[in-house]
């Protein structure tokens, strides 16, 4: 197999990795925000439920969570899943896992905000939604952006765990090619593609961080 053929196969696998990455971010970021609200709820029962969920997601391996999401419907409820469920299982597993991590990042951001911000907004006549979206949330995002960036970069590398349930993302494709060709070249190319992907995401996040510097604390 020529170098161009290997590259084409790896780029196809990278397309799956990028898809998993994008879908996970789109859904886990807002879900993490809702989870953070649940975690900070004054009702101890509601707060405890979300605390338990976060604890389970953070305290067990993502690989195990993917296996539970994939095999769980059949072995627990006897539900037969369709052939394309593998990819859906990966996305569900990643979303609920990363939402837990993002929830704790959001929570730390909200709890770091001075109470004076809320009091000043009330004096100025802002409603609660206006206070949240106009004053609090932009400052929270600025504070937590470095932590979010770290999780996002980790997510890129974690997409390789999709091979656990035989989803052909870039790492599993590289592994198959390396085995077939008895060569390390597919791994080297895959590593370079992962690095380029990480570099691009880090650059975008750094750009966003600089754009938010006008929020002075």
- pLDDT of 168 reads 85
- pLDDT of 216 reads 56
**Mean pLDDT, each 10-residue run in order, the chain (217 residues):** 86 94 97 96 96 97 96 91 90 97 96 86 86 88 92 94 90 89 90 94 90 66
> Per-domain residue ranges for the chain?
3-214
Which helix (H) or strand (E) element contains residue 44? helix 44-59
Distance CA 122, CA 76 (A): 50
- pLDDT of 214 reads 62
Model pTM?
Answer: 0.90
Distance CA 175, CA 131 (A): 51
Q: What share of the chain is helix, strand, coil (3-state, %, to 5)?
A: 85, 0, 15
Distance CA 138, CA 136 (A): 6
> What fold, for 3-214?
MetI-like fold (1.10.3720)
Distance CA 210, CA 214 (A): 8
């Amino acid at each position: 197999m020529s170098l161009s053929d290997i590259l084409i196969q790896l780029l196809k696998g990278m397309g799956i990795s990028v898809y998993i990455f994008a879908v996970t971010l789109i859904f886990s970021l807002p879900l993490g925000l809702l989870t953070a609200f649940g975690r900070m709820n004054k009702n101890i029962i509601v707060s405890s439920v979300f605390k338990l969920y976060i604890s389970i997601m953070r305290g067990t391996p993502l690989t195990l969570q993917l296996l539970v999401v994939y095999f769980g419907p059949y072995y627990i409820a006897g539900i037969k899943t369709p052939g394309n469920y593998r990819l859906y299982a990966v996305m569900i597993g990643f979303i609920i896992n990363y939402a837990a991590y993002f929830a704790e990042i959001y929570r730390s951001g909200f709890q770091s905000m001075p109470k004076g911000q809320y009091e000043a907004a009330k004096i100025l006549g802002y409603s609660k939604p206006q206070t949240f979206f106009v004053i609090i949330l932009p400052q929270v995002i600025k504070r937590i952006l470095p932590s979010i960036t770290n999780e996002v970069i980790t997510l890129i590398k974690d997409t390789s765990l999709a091979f656990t349930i035989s989803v052909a993302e870039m790492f599993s494709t590289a592994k198959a090619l390396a085995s077939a060709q008895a060569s390390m070249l597919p791994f080297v190319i895959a590593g370079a593609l992962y690095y380029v992907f990480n570099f691009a995401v880090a650059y975008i996040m750094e750009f966003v961080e600089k754009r938010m510097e006008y929020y002075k604390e």
